[in-house]
Amino acid sequence: MTEPILRLEGVHTFIAQHHILQGVDMAVMPGRATVLLGRNGAGKSTTMRTVMGLTPAGRGSIRLGERDITKARPYEVAQAGVGFVPEDQAVIYSLSVEENFRLAMLSENEDSWRRMDTIFELFPALKKFWRSKAGVLSGGQKQMLAIARAFVGDHKLLLIDEPSKGLAPIVVDQLIDSLNHIKEHTTIILVEQNFHMASHVGSDYFILDDGRVVHQGLMEALVDDRPLKQKYLGIA
Ligand SMILES: Nc1ncnc2c1ncn2[C@@H]1O[C@H](COP(=O)(O)OP(=O)(O)OP(=O)(O)O)[C@@H](O)[C@H]1O
């Protein structure tokens, strides 16, 4: 039987005096694209930040494959093979597109440059603006650079927080195509409010509400489940 690549059990996260995650249980399977859904403030971003060790779990356990990463520092989680694309993209505007990539490569070798070829195919704009400062890219191109930077690092798991945020529908559709290619190479967990994107990229879903997982299943079942979408996502 296939084992989960990531497993959260009874994860509680406290930020200052606030009890944000209140017992998150989640098993993410390798080779799949899993989407975290839920209303604003449900705890989706905090779940990702907790896995990364940025807002560490106060209670519960987080395992990456066989390894317990509950108390791991963010750089240890990254070194263990988890890439993170935060909501604010983490692109360095004053550096060129090339420099942004070189900063992201865990080690520059033949493999990383081979992955660069895939990236150029998926995101031709990044080749065109290779020597330009990342700050001149459009919002969609910056998002593509952020995702591509994480991809070039050859992570076994990529956490991507709301990539569609602020993007025009046509750019969201390009991003959907790109993520569908990327998911052939690596396991993805996506936080996404845009249900169009979530349903076109995700194969599995978890719905969070008030810091807990309240529903989970296959995306294809959720697409047809109007009452569930209405109840937790406010969409029909
Ligand atoms: N640094 C912080 N200090 C205090 N409260 C925080 C902090 N970060 C998050 N929270 C609170 O934790 C709750 C969950 O936030 P989180 O960002 O995880 O939600 P989310 O589901 O990702 O929603 P959104 O899509 O709106 O970001 C919210 O009530 C938020 O206000």
Q: Where are the domains of the chain?
A: 6-233
Report DSSP state, residue 5.
S
- Give the Å distances, CA to CA, from 24 to 8, 15, 38, 62, 104: 7, 15, 13, 10, 30
Q: What lines the ligand 1 site, CB under 6 Å? A: 15-16, 18, 20, 38, 40-46, 193
What was the pLDDT predicted at 167? 87
What was the pLDDT predicted at 67? 96
Distance (Å) from CA 143 to ligand 1 centroid: 21
pLDDT confidence tier of residue 217, bands split at 50, 70 and 90 = very high
Q: Return the bridge partners of 212, or none.
A: 209
172 CB neighbour count, 10 Å cutoff: 19
pLDDT confidence tier of residue 3, bands split at 50, 70 and 90 = very high
Report the alpha-carbon distance of residue 134 to residue 16 in Å, rounded: 34
pLDDT confidence tier of residue 106, bands split at 50, 70 and 90 = low
Residue 1 pLDDT > 80, yes or no? no
In this prediction, residues 192-213 reach a mean pLDDT of: 95
pLDDT tens profile 49-88: 999 999 999 999 999 999 999 999 999 999 999 999 998 7
Burial of 88 (0-12, 13-18, 19+ CB in 10 A): exposed
Place of tokens 């449900």: 42
pLDDT tens profile 148-180: 888 888 789 999 999 998 888 988 998 999 899
Domain 6-233 CATH superfamily: P-loop containing nucleotide triphosphate hydrolases (3.40.50.300)
Distance (Å) from CA 42 to ligand 1 centroid: 7
